[in-house]
Amino acid sequence: MPEPGVNEAIASVLGDASLSRQSKVAKLRQLEADALAKQRGGTEGLEPDRPDDGEELRAIERALMSLGETAVDQGPASL
């Protein structure tokens, strides 16, 4: 399960009627980059390995897809 802050941030971005679609995508991309950095830190031993890192990325990916976007490649080469 993703951290509560991630789910709240996603809901806040998607539910903010004052944001344009482009602004929502930009905010979600930043969340995605942060989640990828956390995951990368875990693989490099900088942060404790958290088994739910993938859940955060999946939640962000679903939010991006709801706006017609695709997620970044999360394959091994991107870590």
- Residue 78 within a domain: no
For position 37, what pLDDT does the model report?
83
C-alpha angle 34-13-15 in degrees, rounded to nearest 5: 155
Contact between 40 and 79 (Cβ < 8 Å): yes
- Tell me the HSE value of 75 on the side-chain side, using a 13 A CA sphere: 2
CA 17 vs. chain centroid, Å, equals: 20
d(CA 16, CA 14): 6
> Which residues form the domain of 41?
4-73
- Residue 68 within a domain: yes
Domain count, the chain: 1
Closest to 41 measured CA to CA, from 56, 29, 27: 56
Mean pLDDT by 10 residues, the chain (79 residues): 76 96 96 85 58 79 94 59
